[in-house]
Structures are given as C-alpha cells and as structure tokens.
Structure 1
Amino acid sequence: MAIAVLSSGVTGLNAAERALGNSAHAIANIGTQGFQPSQTNFTENAPAGTGVSISMRGQQLLQVDAPSATNLATETTNSLVYKAQFDLSAKVVQAADQNLGTLIDIQA
C-alpha cells in the first residue's frame, strides 16, 4: 500500500514539474510575436488512485506579426497552482516514505 502511495505521489511530482515548465516556457515567450502556448491537461490514471498523467496540446506559431497569445495573468495563476500541486505531492511522497520506513522497522 505504501509503495502504491509513493508511486502516486511521484507521478504527481512529475506532472506538476512538467506543467510548471510549460507555464514558464509560455511566460518566457510572452514577447515572441505569434507565439501560442501549449495547453496542459491532467488525467487520473486507471485504476483510480494510482497517479496522474499529463498531456500537452502542442504550441504553434500564429502569424508572425500577431502578438503573443500568452496571457500573463493566466500563466502566473497556473504557476502558483502547479507549485502547490508539487508541494502537496512532495508531502504525499514524504508521508509514504515515513510509513514505509515504519513498516520495515516493525518487521526487523
């Protein structure tokens, strides 16, 4: 059980890290003419409770003379949400690690 929770927490860490990187990429390209940021979507793995996966719909370049389609307010909010998700996933991993250590100590 503790190993499944540990795995679930790690998938949350990986998904949050990729989403945060995507948001940072969009913010870094806010001044790029015609830039269209990727859309990030989270999906719960099957069976339920085994983690999360992430998919990103590709970015594309709009007309060269068009302004960037990056919305700074949206990307800043997304960054804060992804950071909170990363922190919470890290707490899940930490709790699973402590529980796993307790199980190993009991059996010794």
Structure 2
Amino acid sequence: MLSSMLSSGLSGMRANQTALDVSGHNVANAETQGFLPQQVSFQETGNGVTVSVTQEGFRMAAQETSGTDLTKEIVQSIQYKASFDINAKMVKTADELLGTLINTKA
C-alpha cells in the first residue's frame, strides 16, 4: 500500500511538472506570431497518472497573434502547482509512514 502511495505521488508530481513546463512554454511564446500553444492531457494509470503533450508547432499562415489564452494558462498553472503540492505531501507522508514501519520492526 505504501509503495503504491509513493508511486502515485511521484507520478503525479512528474505529470504536473510536465504540465507546468508546457504552460510556461505557452506563456513564453504568447507574443510569437503564428504560435499554437501546446496542450496537455492527463491519463490515469493503475497506480498513478501520465501526461501527454500535443505539439502543434506553428501555423502555416502567419497570423498577428498566437493562439495562447493567457488567462487560461495562469489558471491552469495554479491548478498544476496545487496538484503538485498535494502529490508532494502524499510522497512525504508515505516516506514518513515507511520510515515508521521500518523503525518499528528494528
């Protein structure tokens, strides 16, 4: 059970870090002409979560603005950060419980 909790927390941290990286990339390129923002998609696995990134690149026809919605990116970044923090607390708790179990048996 603890190893599953640890694994789930770690995969959640990795997935949310990737999502934060993508959001940062989108914000950094918000003023790039013709830029299409990347999209993230979370998928639940048996003992955690994975994330996939859709990379669309640049529009063929140059447009004056990018397709980046800064409000959406900020809201998503806050959500990803909160989720990362929750997963980090889960990892910390699993680590503490595992340490307690090991010390009890010694």
| SS of the residue 2:63 aligns to | coil
Matched residue of 1:40: which SS?
Answer: strand
Structure 1-normalised TM-score?
0.93
Alpha-carbon RMSD: 0.9
Report how far residue 56 of structure 1 moved.
1.0
Structure 2 letter corresponding to 1:100: L
Ranges of 4+ aligned residues in structure 1 off by more than 6 Å: none
In 2, Cα distance between the equivalents of 1:87 and 1:65?
A: 38
| Residue segments in structure 2 that go unaligned for 5+ positions in a row | none
Question: 1:52 matched to which residue of 2?
Answer: 49
**Residue 83 (structure 2) aligned to one of 76, 82, 85:** 85
TM-score normalized with structure 2 length: 0.95
Structure 2 residue aligned with 1:6: 6
Q: Deviations over 1:40-62 (max 9, x none)?
A: 100100x2xx1000011112211
In the alignment, what sits opposite 1:43?
Answer: 43
Task: Give the count of matched residue pairs.
Answer: 105
Q: CA deviation at 1:7?
A: 0.8
